[in-house]
Structure 1
């Protein structure tokens, strides 16, 4: 038998043997495999709270305003009103605003606002060779974006679906997909963006709960992050009957804002601390193209009656290194970030008051404490 015939014969024999072994072996079904999710308990008490804040989400029922208009001799591009989705949509709506700017042919551009939307828009304009100057009342950390939870939630209170048009949903999907791609480029960069486990704990089936009750997620786009999966009692240590899990993204807000601001300056961007109070202040700027990323600050200047605040209170706990997950439970939530573990869960429409209320924090603490007490060892 020559070498070629030997190899062919040996190959066929091995294949037959492997096939026989496979047919006799028990088949493994990956979907039936159960993995125990070991969730560390949170050390939770009022004396571990080091900070309480109230942030205001700029909500518009019809959705964020992404539009171009003429203001005297200037072109004004609007990019504001993202509700609770500003962090998640910042790159995507920034890209839509960039397209409107580039259509003007102007290369010297002013951006109003230094929150996450303003910074992302400015960075995107720099990538197309624009000379960008940011005009802002305050700098991070003294911006509303610094008071957010910092999680991937592109449809959180982004609009009222009873008012929003199908055209807006198309715009939202385009912005969401663009943002998601950009965030993937930042993974592994000093933990600015990271993937975390997210759990939902409830006493009733999740399908019976409305989107608003789950944080105002009015749209859903499949295929980006993993879908939620119901866990069996053997897969977790929570005491509640209904528990879900998925992987989601989280933003390390202090590092993220610092990175964006530093990169903007490194690439030649300029920043001027200058409050814009009226249209005449915009008209006085030297740039002929101005991008409005002012959030709630745009309400009075542009007479936007649709723009209204939705306040959200957060309480920050001392970091706990082993706690790295996000939890939504019975109307309260925890988000474990590098700078602390944040408790929240409320949203008051039309509330301009940014004074934290201790009773709200106590309610968060009581709810999460009960969830921790019910956890099995």
Structure 2
């Protein structure tokens, strides 16, 4: 047998073997093995709660204020009022604010506030060669951003869609896309940003939530993170009738704030603990261009009657290594971070009280415990 006939015969034999193996393999369809989502149970008890906090989200029905105005000889660029979307939109609205700053021609810029929005805005201005000084009442961890949960939620309590205009929606979309790209650059850096599994568990069919007080995503922008998928009973271990899943992003808040602040200072940024109480305090600053990232602090100083708090309580559980997912279930949720597993889910419009209430924590624990008890296995 010559070489050509040998190769031809061997090739046909291999195809025959492959066909035989293929015929024995299970076919896709009703008899195919479905991918099972192995979801570890959460250890829940009140004695595992190590911290309770109440954060205030700065909400404006028309959406975050991104605008420029004159104050005597100075220019104020506003970037505040993000509701529950501050973490997700910080890079994007920071970029919109940066564009307004660049129209002034000023290179020495003041930023008011050292939360996630203020830090992202300051970093973006540095990238354009600006000399930036941050003026702040407090430093992380004593900032409102540190009391948030830090997940990708660019439309959470961002506005009231019945009030917000199409102009704001377009602005929001541009900010969302810019933020998403920036967070992709941070993946793999000390777990500052990571992809996680997110589950929705309900005994009722899932419906879009557009009420900002309830914490739903009032807008949806397809094509960034994967769309939600409803799982069949064979694909999960939850006991509920309806279960959804998607991959989403989570931010390691302590690492993120430390990274941003350290990078800002390393690149020559200046940081001054200096509380701004009135417009005269802003007028006294040496910079002619000031970016207002004060959140709720802007309400009194700039007489913003639209700005109001939406309080949200969180209870922190001791970390559980195998629990790395996010869960939304029956009005409560858990978010697993490196520093703890956070339980939350409430929102009270107009509430300025930051005192945690034990009965709220007990309700979170009871709700999630019921979900865990119903799990199979």
- What band does the TM-score fall into relative to the shorter chain? over 0.9
Query: Match for residue 199 of structure 2?
Result: 199
Flag structure 2 segments of 5+ consecutive residues without an equivalent: none
Query: How well do the aligned residues superpose, as a CA RMSD in angstroms?
Result: 2.5
**How far apart, in 2, do the equivalents of 1:168 and 1:220 lie?**
14
Cα deviation digits, residues 253-311 of structure 1 (max 9, x gap)? 00100000000000000000000011110011000110000000000000000000000
Query: Shift of the alpha carbon at 1:147?
Result: 0.3
Partner of 2:331: 331
Secondary structure of 1:296 counterpart: helix
SS at match of 1:343: strand
Contact 2:161 2:210 (C-alpha < 8 Å) held by counterparts: no
Match of 1:350 in 2: 350
TM score, norm. by length of structure 2: 0.93
Structure 1 residue 210: Cα displacement:
3.0
- Which segments of 5 or more consecutive residues in structure 1 lack a partner in the other structure? none
2:107 corresponding residue in structure 1: 107
Deviation, structure 1 residue 33:
6.0
State the distance in 2 between where 1:253 and 1:145 align.
Answer: 8
User: When the two structures are aligned, how many residues end up with a matched partner?
Assistant: 374
- By how many angstroms is 1:34 displaced? 1.8
Aligned twin of 1:273 = 273
Deviation at 1:214, TM superposition (A): 6.5
* TM-score of the aligned structures, taking structure 1 as reference length: 0.93
The 1-side partners of 2:268 and 2:26 are apart by 60
Structure 2 counterpart SS, 1:68 = strand
Alpha-carbon separation, structure 2, partners of 1:292 and 1:46: 40
Which residue is equivalent to 1:309? 309
For 1:124-163, what aligned pairs fall within 5 Å after superposition? 124-163=124-163
Q: Hey, what's the Cα distance between the residues in 1 that align with 2:144 and 2:120?
A: 15
What are the superposed Cα offsets for residues 323-359 of structure 1, whole Å, 9 maximum, x if unpaired?
A: 0000000000000000000000000000000000000
Q: Does 1:220 align with 2:258?
A: no
Q: 1:48 to 1:27 in 2, by over 3 A?
A: closer
Structure-to-structure mapping, 1:160-175, within 5 angstroms = 160-175=160-175
SS in 1 for 2:84: helix
SS of equivalent to 1:167: helix
Partners of 2:58 and 2:293 in 1: CA distance: 11
Give, in whole Å, the separation in 2 of the partners of 1:221 and 1:373.
35
Cα 1:306–1:33, aligned 2, differ >3 Å: closer, same or farther? farther
2: CA distance between counterparts of 1:201 and 1:371?
A: 8
Match of 2:264 in 1: 264
State how far apart, in whole Å, the 2-side matches of 1:141 and 1:157 are.
Answer: 23
> Residue 210 of structure 1 corresponds to which residue in structure 2?
209
Q: How does 1:66-77 map to 2 (within 5 A)?
A: 66-77=66-77
